[in-house]
């Protein structure tokens, strides 16, 4: 599975899953654009690692829900590398705070909807022309399991129909999604590990590399007849919640 000389734009690449995805693509020879929003220092750490691995990469600050900022990021990617082959929509706004129905924080709720739903649409829209030129594809990081949340999980479960809608709209650009289970990107407490292990058939929490491997598969030629699909990489969690 080689991505030699391909250009990969990863939103939320300053985060746990996005950062690991950047490392795996770099290991396959890709050029990588590391998008971040509020964590320039984390983005810089990733960039240093990628460059040490011989990868060409740069960091770009953009709010994924801002069409102007995202357009500038895609233009910068094309200017530097001449092409975009894969867009990974990994950025997300997540709790805390949890959505509290008795005392709702509407501004936070709106921000989650903007980043988690509109952000996927905005980035996909802005990457369409270069992806058409390169014959490229899109992979979204969504959440396809949910006990009925009204905040974060509501916005993330929208990613599955959004993926299907984009696949219909953009074909032959392939658009697929990965739905992680509980992945330890924030330093889970022992209580959290015990809880998430308990709702996972395979009896462990996920690691960023579990998700990154599935993203690379969907982005690769090995998945050339797959579009509109969501792969569950959750150790069976959706069967238990
Ligand atoms: N971890 C899990 O258990 C789990 C489970 C299911 C789904 N997911 C999904 O997996 C993806 C990655 O999550 P993670 O666990 O790796 O979380 P994370 O480490 O907190 O990463 C989140 C990323 O989103 C970026 N981001 C937030 N708001 C943004 C904005 N407005 N514009 C651009 N980037 C923005 C953050 O960038 P800055 O820090 O630079 O602001 C960060 O890089 C998310 O889509 C999440 O919903 C995670």
Domain regions of the chain by residue span: 7-239
Report the distance separating Cα 101 and Cα 158, nearest Å.
20
Q: Which CATH number fits domain 7-239: 3.40.50.2000, 3.30.465.10, 3.90.1150.10, 3.40.50.720?
A: 3.40.50.720
Tens-place pLDDT, residues 17-59: 999 999 999 999 999 999 999 999 999 999 999 999 999 999 9
Expressed in angstroms, the distance from the first to the final Cα of the chain is 34
Q: Calculate how far, in angstroms, residue 205's C-alpha sits from the geometric centre of ligand 1.
A: 17
Q: In what order do the strands lie in the sheet with 86-89?
A: 57-61, 31-36, 7-10, 86-89, 137-141, 174-180, 230-233
Residue 220, pLDDT > 90, answer yes
Who contacts 214 (Cβ-Cβ below 8 Å, separation ≥6)?
A: 178, 231, 233
From the CB of 8, is ligand 1 less than 6 Å away?
Answer: no
Pick the more confident residue, 18 or 1: 18
Tens-place pLDDT, residues 50-68: 999 999 999 999 999 999 9
What confidence tier does 148 reach under pLDDT thresholds 50, 70, 90?
confident
From the CB of 93, is ligand 1 less than 6 Å away?
Answer: yes
Q: How many residues does the chain have?
A: 241
Report the distance separating Cα 100 and Cα 102, nearest Å.
5
Give the pLDDT confidence score for residue 235 in this predicted structure. Answer: 97
Which percentage of the chain shows pLDDT scores above 70?
A: 100
Is there a catalytic annotation at residue 36? Answer: no
pTM of the predicted model, to two decimals?
Answer: 0.98
């Amino acid at each position: 599975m080689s991505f030699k000389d391909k250009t990969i734009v990863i939103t939320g690449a300053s985060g746990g899953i996005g950062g690991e995805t950047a490392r795996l693509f770099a290991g396959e020879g890709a050029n990588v654009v590391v998008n971040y929003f509020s964590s320039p220092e984390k983005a810089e750490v990733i960039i240093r690692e990628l460059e040490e691995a011989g990868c060409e990469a740069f960091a770009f600050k953009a709010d994924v829900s801002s069409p102007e900022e995202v357009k500038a990021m895609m233009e910068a990617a094309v200017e530097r590398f001449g092409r975009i082959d894969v867009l990974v929509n990994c950025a997300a706004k997540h709790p805390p705070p949890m959505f509290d129905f008795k005392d709702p924080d509407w501004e936070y709720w709106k921000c989650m909807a903007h980043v988690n739903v509109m952000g996927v649409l905005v980035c996909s829209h802005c990457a369409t022309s270069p992806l058409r030129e390169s014959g490229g594809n899109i992979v979204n990081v969504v959440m396809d399991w949910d006990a009925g949340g009204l905040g974060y999980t509501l916005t993330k479960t929208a990613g599955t129909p959004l993926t299907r809608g984009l696949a219909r709209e953009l074909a032959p650009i392939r658009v697929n999604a990965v739905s992680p289970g509980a992945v330890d990107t924030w330093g889970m407490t022992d209580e959290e590990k015990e809880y998430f292990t308990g709702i996972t058939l395979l009896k462990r929490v996920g690691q960023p590399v579990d998700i990154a491997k599935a993203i690379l598969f969907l982005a690769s030629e090995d998945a050339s007849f797959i579009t509109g699909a969501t792969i569950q990489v959750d150790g069976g969690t959706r069967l238990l919640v």
